[in-house]
Chains A and B, each alone.
Chain A
Amino acid sequence: MKSSDQKPNQGDSRRDFLKKSSVITAIALTPSVAVKAAESNADERFAQLFEKIPLELTVNNKVYQTTVEPRVTLLDYLREELHLTGTKKGCDHGQCGACTVHVDGQRVNSCLSLAVMNEGKKITTIEGLANGETLHPMQAAFIKHDGFQCGYCTPGQIMSAVACVREGHTGSRAEISEYMSGNICRCGAYPNIVDAIIEVKEGGEKV
Chain B
Amino acid sequence: MINFQYLRTTTAKSAIALLVKDKNAKFLAGGTNLIDLMKRGVTAPEKLIDINHVPLKQIEQIGNKIHIGALASNSAVADSALIKEKLPLLSWALQAGASAQLRNVATVGGNMMQRTRCSYFYDTEMPCNKRQPGTGCGAMEGFNRMHAIFGASEKCIAVHPSDMCVALTALDAEVVVANAKGERKIPFKDFHRLAGDTPQLDNNLKADEMIIRLEIPMNNLAKNYHYLKVRDRASYAFALVSVAAAFELSNNKITDIRLAMGGVAHKPWRLTASENFLKGKEATLSNFEEAAQLAMKDAKGFGGNDFKLKLAPNTIIEGLNLAKSKV
Query: Do A and B touch, yes or no (CB under 8 Å, in the complex)?
Result: yes
Which residues of A are in contact with B by a Cβ distance under 8 Å?
1-3, 7, 9-10, 17, 20-21, 23-27, 51, 53, 69-71, 73, 92-94, 97, 100, 106-109, 112-114, 116-117, 119, 160, 163-164, 167, 169, 177-179, 181-184
Could you tell me if B124 and A3 are in contact, using CB atoms closer than 8 angstroms? yes
Taken together as a complex, chains A and B put the C-alpha atoms of A2 and B132 apart, in Å, by 13
Instruction: List 24 A-B pairs, Cβ < 8 Å.
Output: A1-B125, A10-B3, A23-B18, A25-B8, A26-B9, A27-B6, A27-B7, A70-B4, A71-B1, A71-B4, A93-B36, A107-B104, A109-B102, A109-B105, A113-B105, A114-B48, A116-B6, A119-B8, A160-B101, A167-B79, A169-B100, A177-B235, A181-B234, A183-B99
Could you tell me if B234 and A25 are in contact, using CB atoms closer than 8 angstroms? no
Q: Most chain-B CB neighbours within 10 Å: which of A94, A107, A184?
A: A94
Q: Does B239 contact A (CB under 8 A)?
A: no
Could you tell me if A94 and B28 are in contact, using CB atoms closer than 8 angstroms? no
B39: A residues at CB distance < 8 A = 92-93
Instruction: Identify B102's interface contact among A92, A94, A177, CB under 8 A.
Output: A94
Could you tell me if B14 and A7 are in contact, using CB atoms closer than 8 angstroms? no
Which residues of B are in contact with A by a Cβ distance under 8 Å?
1-10, 14, 18, 21-22, 28, 30-32, 35-36, 38-41, 44, 46-48, 50, 52, 75, 79, 98-102, 104-105, 124-125, 234-236
Closest-by-CB residue of B relative to A109 is B101
Could you tell me if A106 and B104 are in contact, using CB atoms closer than 8 angstroms? yes
Instruction: Identify A70's interface contact among B3, B41, B236, CB under 8 A.
Output: B3
A177: B residues at CB distance < 8 A = 234-235
Could you tell me if B41 and A2 are in contact, using CB atoms closer than 8 angstroms? yes
Taken together as a complex, chains A and B put the C-alpha atoms of A184 and B107 apart, in Å, by 23
With A112-B31, A181-B234, A181-B235 as contacts: A160 and B100 at CB distance below 8 Å: yes
Taken together as a complex, chains A and B put the C-alpha atoms of A167 and B115 apart, in Å, by 29
B235–chain A nearest beta-carbon distance, Å: 4
Could you tell me if B2 and A9 are in contact, using CB atoms closer than 8 angstroms? yes
Closest-by-CB residue of A relative to B95 is A178
Taken together as a complex, chains A and B put the C-alpha atoms of A169 and B5 apart, in Å, by 39
Taken together as a complex, chains A and B put the C-alpha atoms of A132 and B174 apart, in Å, by 51
Instruction: Identify A97's interface contact among B3, B4, B75, B101, CB under 8 A.
Output: B101
Taken together as a complex, chains A and B put the C-alpha atoms of A94 and B32 apart, in Å, by 7
A178: B residues at CB distance < 8 A = 234-235
Could you tell me if B100 and A167 are in contact, using CB atoms closer than 8 angstroms? yes
Taken together as a complex, chains A and B put the C-alpha atoms of A196 and B99 apart, in Å, by 20
